[in-house]
Amino acid sequence: MYEMEGVNIATLHLMIGLPCSGKTTYARQLAGETNALVLTLDVWHLKLFGDDSGEEHRDEHNERHERVEKVMWDVAKHVLEIGGDVVLDYGCWARVERDDYRNRAKELGVNFKLHYMDVPYSELYRRLEERNRNRPDDVFEISKAEMDRYITIFQPPTADELA
């Protein structure tokens, strides 16, 4: 939380980055440093629905992901309204998504901060291979072909977004 003239103003932190970029690791660290609630979309999805990723389940997976995201936003909004900081560990690959959350923060009268995990593709692939080999329970398995597809649709934040 940031303090302004003796009043604490909550902050909405938004993680941006591709899988294996370190978003969740950093989100947890940031939450510990700021006493924030961290909401990791994949963790909730896996606990509710299991690993339904993969080409054959894409539509169902995406629909479930959207439902979980809506519930998580309700929780985040409540915490922000009572003065708590929140870290949304979503990835937010598209500018339109990031702008939406920026506007939501503005409507609530809270601070907004983007955290972009900019990792070279070669390192993402190295981490992906390691992650798939020793996959923890709270992450989806992602194939190299899926990562290739994700890279083509990811919109890195612009300098004005990060300013």
* pLDDT for res 123: 97
4's enclosing H/E stretch is strand 2-4
9's enclosing H/E stretch is strand 7-9
Q: Which residues of the chain have pLDDT under 50?
A: none
Which of 47, 21, 30 lies closest to 86 in space, CA to CA? 30
Residue 124: which CATH number? 3.40.50.300
* pLDDT for res 1: 52
Q: Into how many domains does the chain fold?
A: 1
Domain limits at 48? 2-162
DSSP 35-102: TPEEEEHHHHHHHHH----SGGGHHHHHHHHHHHHHHHHHHHHHHHHTT--EEEEEE--SHHHHHHHH
* pLDDT for res 7: 64
pLDDT digits (tens, 9 = 90+) for 122-160: 999 999 999 999 987 888 889 999 999 999 999 999 999
pLDDT digits (tens, 9 = 90+) for 119-131: 999 999 999 999 9
Question: In sequence order, what are the residues at sequence separation of 6 or more whose Cβ sits closer than 8 angstroms to the Cβ of residue 60?
Answer: 52
Compute the distance between CA of residue 73 and CA of residue 36 in angstroms, rounded to an integer.
Answer: 14
Contact 15, 117 (CB under 8 A): yes
